[in-house]
Amino acid sequence: MSAPVAGVIDLVREDLRAFGGYRSARSERVDGQVWLNANESPWANPADADATARRYPDPQPADLRAALAALYGCRPEQLLAGRGSDEGIDLLVRALCTPGQGAIVVTTPTFGMYAVVARVQAARVVDVPLDDGADGFTCDFDAVAEAAERAQARLVFLCSPGNPSGTALPLPRIAALARRLAGRAVVVVDEAYGEYASGPSAVTLLDAHDNIAVLRTLSKAHALAAARVGAVIAHAELIAVLQRCQAPYPLPQPCVALAMQALSPPSLATTRERIVTTIMERDALRVALSATPGVRRAYPSQANFVLARFDDAQAAWDALLASGVVIRDFRATPRLGDALRITIGTPEQNALVLETLRGVREAAA
């Protein structure tokens, strides 16, 4: 008789499985008229017009959690709201990787915070680079699985769509990877740019795979980068552990209020329209870049940016900066020594980028 496959809770650090965490004053579900339980000031700050800022916020506002769950297609108990996607990355690494012993797998080029958080936790970072082929960057899922097994990694981070690759990973391959690593590792799918992708979310895989976690954020398509509101979506047991590891008051009330306004039907309708425009501009920019002298390659993208390689990346960088356009320099990244990443702007901003880059070759002629 074969041994039962471990559940996702068995992947959590043993010392944290029953960890109670810090119970703040707002964690106690009690009601009253005179609140004297949190050592708050009884008087509002003169700058606080509606006299609400003196109170600590709800650690996990039920209305925000429900709105985000509806947006992403999960149940509220499967979702933890936090400070952007970054806090979700940090919580997952701290909860699953024992300091000095744990390991994670990443697929470079990718979002740098996975490795940063792992190193702070003294966890090893195992890299399985993406393949750079004719159709853009692709992931070798078999190599990722083998690396995770060899390193006994507890976390595999997949950025989809990738940053800076722009590649969206196929859900059947993600599901197969989760199946292979069941009881061994959690497969984390970072969908910060998911609104710009054409396929379904990895959230659709959660009910079949308890070792998948999905990261989402309101920073990109929803234009709330300064509010710092994101979510981890995963098995309810894992979410409960992550919440116990979270800081007592992660979500400032003004940010919650702003997020709730952004999740209202009128705001969501406007956001959807802008996503469509961004996708059209992205595809047009990529085609135009591919035909621009001096651009060696413009990669296909399912995100809100285009990664491009240049004959003279320094000249392109200098020209754009002289035009007042700031883009992202990836030349210090291994295998991207000639690459720059261009975020999709307004149609007028994108036209300025193209005009400037076309002028680089003319100036050199």
Q: What is the pLDDT of residues 3-56, one digit of tens each?
A: 445 688 888 887 778 777 667 766 767 778 787 667 777 888 889 888 888 888
Between 38 and 143, name the one with better pLDDT.
Answer: 143
Exposed / middle / buried, residue 237 (Cβ in 10 Å: 0-12, 13-18, 19+): middle
What pLDDT shows up at residue 3?
Answer: 45
Task: Flag whether 77 is in a domain.
Answer: yes
Task: Flag whether 247 is in a domain.
Answer: yes
Average pLDDT in the 72-89 region?
Answer: 97
The CA–CA distances, whole Å, from 360 to 200, 281, 347 equal 39, 22, 20
Q: Provide the residue count of the chain.
A: 365
Task: Flag whether 2 is in a domain.
Answer: no
What pLDDT shows up at residue 224?
Answer: 97
Identify whether residues 220 and 275 lie together within a single domain: no
Could you report the per-residue pLDDT of 178-206, keeping only the tens digit for each? Answer: 999 999 999 999 999 999 999 999 999 99
Task: Flag whether 38 is in a domain.
Answer: no
Between 87 and 52, name the one with better pLDDT.
Answer: 87
Identify whether residues 144 and 183 lie together within a single domain: yes
Q: What is the CATH number of the domain that holds 241?
A: 3.40.640.10
Identify whether residues 276 and 192 lie together within a single domain: no
Identify whether residues 219 and 330 lie together within a single domain: no
Identify whether residues 158 and 227 lie together within a single domain: yes
Identify whether residues 226 and 306 lie together within a single domain: no
Identify whether residues 220 and 272 lie together within a single domain: no
Could you report the per-residue pLDDT of 306-342, keeping only the tens digit for each? Answer: 999 999 999 999 999 999 999 999 999 999 999 999 9
Identify whether residues 208 and 345 lie together within a single domain: no
Task: Flag whether 46 is in a domain.
Answer: no
Task: Flag whether 43 is in a domain.
Answer: no
Prediction pTM value: 0.93
What pLDDT shows up at residue 38?
Answer: 74
Residue 103, strand partner residues:
124
Task: Flag whether 315 is in a domain.
Answer: yes
Number of compact structural domains in the chain? 2
Spatial neighbors of 234 by CB under 8 A, at least 6 apart, are 8, 78, 80, 186, 206, 212, 213, 214, 242
Identify whether residues 138 and 78 lie together within a single domain: yes
Q: Is the CB of residue 55 less than 8 Å from the CB of residue 35?
A: yes
Of the residues 263, 296, 331, the one at which a domain ends: 263
Confidence category of residue 81, pLDDT binned at 50, 70, 90 = very high
- Parent domain of 161: 8-27+55-263
Identify whether residues 132 and 279 lie together within a single domain: no
Between 32 and 235, name the one with better pLDDT.
Answer: 235
Of the residues 263, 279, 296, the one at which a domain ends: 263
Residue with tokens 């754009």: 320
Between 18 and 86, name the one with better pLDDT.
Answer: 86
What pLDDT shows up at residue 9?
Answer: 86
Q: What is the DSSP letter of 77?
A: G
Identify whether residues 17 and 114 lie together within a single domain: yes
Average pLDDT in the 60-84 region?
Answer: 97
Average pLDDT in the 161-172 region?
Answer: 97
Q: What is the CATH number of the domain that holds 358?
A: 3.90.1150.10
What pLDDT shows up at residue 165?
Answer: 97
Identify the helix (H) or strand (E) that includes residue 144.
Answer: helix 141-151
Identify the helix (H) or strand (E) that includes residue 131.
Answer: strand 131-133
Identify whether residues 208 and 315 lie together within a single domain: no
What pLDDT shows up at residue 364?
Answer: 61
Spatial neighbors of 2 by CB under 8 A, at least 6 apart, are none
Task: Flag whether 40 is in a domain.
Answer: no
Query: Residue 223, by phi and psi: left (phi above 0), alpha (psi -120 to 50) or beta?
Result: left
Of the residues 263, 280, 307, the one at which a domain ends: 263
What average pLDDT does the chain have? 93
